[in-house]
Chain A
Amino acid sequence: MSNKRIDEPTGVETVGHEWDGIEELNNPLPRWWLISFYMTIVFAIGYMVVYPAIPMLSKGTEGLWGWSSRGQLAKELDEAQAGRAATLAALAQVPIEQLPANPDLMRKAIAGGRAAFRVNCVQCHGSGAAGGIGYPNLNDDDWLWGGNLKEIETTLINGIRQPGNAQTRTSLMPNFGKDGILTPAQISDVADYVLSLSGKAPMNANGKLAFEANCVVCHGADAKGSRAVGAPNLSDAIWLYGGSKDQVVGSITKAHAGVMPAWGGKLDPVTIKMLAAYVHSLGGGEDFADAPTNPAAGTTGNAKP
């Protein structure tokens, strides 16, 4: 096998192997290459000592430096939390009425609220906050309990129809059909009348009479509802429990009473403030009627700095 010889043209010894007439010259590697190779071995040993490296029976070696990917994640989460501390402190300081005057803080609050919404609210309101039958859509401009920042925050803190909470949003509509206050024919007439207000059904005179006798107390003579008592506007295009005749008849026969948790006891005030800012930002948020809003928003010309 070994057949070393000196290659004529180059004067270099061959390694002594031959493959179909092809031979290999034995040119030595440079010495620094060997030294670099030894250094990588030393580095690897050092690496195995200080970092987790060798798998054992139940767990691997931990390494002298005690590094772990889980530990690094925890550290980075702590750092991220610490990085947010200043913003959270500022948010805790600012009353929610002042938030629109501080666009930078407002933007941060909306971003934080978006994250908190994903965790706490999407189960009922949906990931796009578009809600569904029985769960209000938070993007639109129709608010049962008020749509400025303060009102939204109040609703969030105290919830809806929460027993034992004096501040909770509560309204109670009678079960007109179930409790025999109105006959099914009357309910049908009232439903027709209510739907006629938004042009979805022809005018029904009997229904109008029954409505004036039974409904105006809460919903008002113009059926525009009342936020004070949580009575929905019946003349608009938005129906929390559905706007078909059957659904309206159903709502009158047996009233719905949806609930929302009182988040005041579950989330910290800053998170609630951020949630209010996020919900308010979805496109239907209302300005404070008596307080001047963000002055920059008043003119069309300078929407962005």
Chain B
Amino acid sequence: MQSPESVPASLYEKRKAVFPKAVDGRFRRLKWLVMIVTLGIYYITPWLRWDRGPYAPNQAVLVDLAHRRFYMFGIEIWPHEFYFVAGLLIMAGVGLFVITSAVGRAWCGYSCPQTVWTDLFQHVDRLIDGDRNAQLRLEAAPWGAEKIFKRAVKWTIYLAISFWTGGAWIMYFADAPTLTREFWAGDAAPVAYGTVAVLTATTFLFGGFMREQICVYMCPWPRIQTAMLDEKSLLVTYKDWRGEPRGSVKKAEKNPGGVGDCVDCNQCVAVCPTGYDIRNGPDIQCITCALCIDACDKVMVQLGRPRGLIDYATLEDCKLEREGQTPRPISRALFHTRTLIYVSVWSAIGFALLFALGNRQRLDISVQKDRNPPYMLMSGGELRNAYTVKLRNMESRPRPMQVTIDGLPGGTMWTDDMPSDKAARTLKFDVAADRADPMRFYVVAPAGTHPQHFEFKLKALDAEGGEDESKVRFDAPGEEE
């Protein structure tokens, strides 16, 4: 047993709240742009309309779980085509590799939902409480009327944003205007209310309070990325050979050449949304949002020193620069071999999906043979086989189609919806829009027919046309010829 003195004061650490300072600069503006675009896409997409005619919903992007359809603008995905969705997910995964390989943790810094919503909530903080110093003062202040009021207002805004976020999510799964009406009337499905409640709670908690803790402690992506970053990856880097030793402007005047460019103003730490000091080197806590670059550049301009004491750089370039050589242009870092390999994999999947999409059949026949009994002897000595046939019409309009027996001499067929004396070698159907209903087909062949294979041929009779066939077995006594 260890003596009590050797036990650390606390095994658990209270979160050190981060109060990032407002900053302006090119990366901050890029962040604004990304935030507007991503949040815009998220909140507005379900409300876009797309005319698909009378037999399909007119919502541009819709995951229709109840009817097993996935609509995305002009594309309609059926469950048996789910490989398109799987392909898109794989592309999203490889896309993260591409981004990481080219520009490091840009996903984390700009477009990760956790980053975007945290950024949004931090703007709310500044709007209500003021900038960093005011926030610090308010945090330290006792609970008085002002603090209670400001907290109440701020958390209400948090909650409103969270609710809107959770509410937008469910709009992807049903017709948005209808669902909105049902939601407020109390007529929506319980799962809709449950989803909104959960997403509101997580957005409120993760964006309002957990913030950088999600990235540092919970998210697997920073861990994966540390394995994917190498000396060719762009990182937000403090150029210590230029900055150290740190010293004030006065010190630099007294001792020119003895002091580095960093004046230890701590602006880079003050603006950091995760509260990290980039001068300690790359770390899991640095999401490479580059706000410290903006802050430092501003200070350098004021001091009349060249910008870029903190800048995007690769470890290779840092080495060159440290040795006094000219670093390579940034395009070299963006387009190195690994990135190009990822890009080619990514686009190969993309082209394969596009090719598959362009070539997919909009009609389909699938046949399942009855196996019990395998064949039937009819009173006239003929042999009958039964099949379950599905005609799949993936167009959003009814289509006339015909099914023909190809092979099986003397064979005729009828369905259980028609009298057997109407049996023929070709049957015509009006196949309903966007459906695949099972039908029972009886195929009868003359006495003495041997077991053999034949084909059901499906043909669309409208202008657009299209064909499909299915080869099946006809069972009978005796050996196959």
B contact residues, range: 35 or more
For B417, list chain A residues within 8 Å (CB): 103, 294, 296-297, 303-304
For B416, list chain A residues within 8 Å (CB): 281, 283
Among the stretches A81-89, A174-182, A233-241, the one at the interface with B is A233-241
Least Cβ–Cβ distance between A294 and chain B, in angstroms: 7
Q: Do the beta carbons of B429 and A304 come within 8 Å of each other?
A: yes
Which of B14, B379, B386 touches A233 (beta carbons < 8 Å)? B379
* Per-position binary interface string of chain B over residues 7-25, scored 1 when its CB falls under 8 Å from any chain A CB and 0 otherwise: 0101111110000000000
A75 within 8 A of B: no
Given A30-B213, A283-B386, A283-B442, A300 and B428 contact (CB-CB distance below 8 Å): yes
Q: Do the beta carbons of B447 and A237 come within 8 Å of each other?
A: yes
For B386, list chain A residues within 8 Å (CB): 139, 283
Least Cβ–Cβ distance between B413 and chain A, in angstroms: 11
B324 within 8 A of A: no
Among the stretches A31-39, A56-64, A214-222, A255-263, the one at the interface with B is A31-39
* Per-position binary interface string of chain B over residues 439-451, scored 1 when its CB falls under 8 Å from any chain A CB and 0 otherwise: 1001000010000
Least Cβ–Cβ distance between A252 and chain B, in angstroms: 21
B418 within 8 A of A: yes
For A16, list chain B residues within 8 Å (CB): 6
A40 within 8 A of B: no
Among the stretches B252-260, B339-347, B430-438, the one at the interface with A is B430-438
Given A142-B379, A237-B380, A300 and B427 contact (CB-CB distance below 8 Å): yes
Q: Do the beta carbons of A236 and B13 come within 8 Å of each other?
A: no
Q: Do the beta carbons of A141 and B379 come within 8 Å of each other?
A: yes
A26 to B427, CA, bound (A): 78
Given A13-B8, A28-B13, A283-B442, A137 and B376 contact (CB-CB distance below 8 Å): yes
Given A237-B378, A237-B380, A304-B437, A29 and B13 contact (CB-CB distance below 8 Å): yes
Nearest CB to that of A139 among chain B residues? B376
Q: Do the beta carbons of B11 and A29 come within 8 Å of each other?
A: yes
For B8, list chain A residues within 8 Å (CB): 13, 26, 28
Least Cβ–Cβ distance between B379 and chain A, in angstroms: 4
B465 within 8 A of A: no
A305 within 8 A of B: yes
Given A29-B12, A29-B13, A304-B417, A140 and B376 contact (CB-CB distance below 8 Å): yes
Least Cβ–Cβ distance between B66 and chain A, in angstroms: 18
Q: Do the beta carbons of A32 and B15 come within 8 Å of each other?
A: yes
Nearest CB to that of B430 among chain A residues? A302
A287 to B417, CA, bound (A): 12
Q: Do the beta carbons of A236 and B379 come within 8 Å of each other?
A: yes
For B373, list chain A residues within 8 Å (CB): 126, 128-130, 137, 139
Which of B372, B377, B424, B447 touches A300 (beta carbons < 8 Å)? B424
Q: Do the beta carbons of A297 and B418 come within 8 Å of each other?
A: yes
For B388, list chain A residues within 8 Å (CB): none
Given A127-B372, A140-B376, A283-B376, A33 and B217 contact (CB-CB distance below 8 Å): yes
Q: Do the beta carbons of B378 and A140 come within 8 Å of each other?
A: yes
Least Cβ–Cβ distance between B111 and chain A, in angstroms: 25
For A304, list chain B residues within 8 Å (CB): 417, 429-432, 437, 439
Least Cβ–Cβ distance between B36 and chain A, in angstroms: 31
A198 to B430, CA, bound (A): 41
Nearest CB to that of B216 among chain A residues? A30
A238 to B210, CA, bound (A): 79
Q: Do the beta carbons of A31 and B437 come within 8 Å of each other?
A: no
For A4, list chain B residues within 8 Å (CB): 6
A141 to B418, CA, bound (A): 15
Least Cβ–Cβ distance between B365 and chain A, in angstroms: 13
B415 within 8 A of A: yes
For A281, list chain B residues within 8 Å (CB): 416
A127 to B12, CA, bound (A): 66
A137 to B372, CA, bound (A): 12
Given A130-B372, A303-B439, A237 and B379 contact (CB-CB distance below 8 Å): yes
A202 to B10, CA, bound (A): 106
Which of B10, B379, B427 touches A303 (beta carbons < 8 Å)? B427
For A129, list chain B residues within 8 Å (CB): 373
For A301, list chain B residues within 8 Å (CB): 428-430
B4 within 8 A of A: no
Least Cβ–Cβ distance between A103 and chain B, in angstroms: 8
Q: Do the beta carbons of A300 and B418 come within 8 Å of each other?
A: yes
Least Cβ–Cβ distance between B371 and chain A, in angstroms: 8
B2 within 8 A of A: yes
For A167, list chain B residues within 8 Å (CB): none
Nearest CB to that of A287 among chain B residues? B419
A95 within 8 A of B: no
A181 to B431, CA, bound (A): 62
B384 within 8 A of A: yes
B250 within 8 A of A: no
For A238, list chain B residues within 8 Å (CB): 377-379
A226 within 8 A of B: no
A103 to B8, CA, bound (A): 78
Q: Do the beta carbons of A298 and B376 come within 8 Å of each other?
A: no
Nearest CB to that of A239 among chain B residues? B377
Nearest CB to that of B426 among chain A residues? A300
Q: Do the beta carbons of A30 and B381 come within 8 Å of each other?
A: no
Q: Do the beta carbons of B376 and A31 come within 8 Å of each other?
A: no
Closest 3 CB pairs of A and B: A128-B372, A130-B373, A236-B379
Beyond A30-B12, A128-B370, A130-B373, 14 extra complex contacts between A and B, CB < 8 Å: A28-B11, A30-B13, A34-B11, A126-B373, A140-B377, A237-B381, A283-B386, A283-B442, A293-B419, A297-B417, A298-B418, A298-B419, A302-B429, A304-B432
Which residues of A are at the interface with B, using a C-beta cutoff of 8 A? Answer: 2, 4, 13, 16, 26, 28-34, 103, 126-130, 137, 139-142, 198, 233, 236-238, 281, 283, 287, 293-294, 296-305
Can you spell out 7 A-B residue pairs with CB atoms less than 8 angstroms apart?
A29-B11, A30-B13, A128-B370, A128-B372, A142-B378, A298-B419, A303-B415
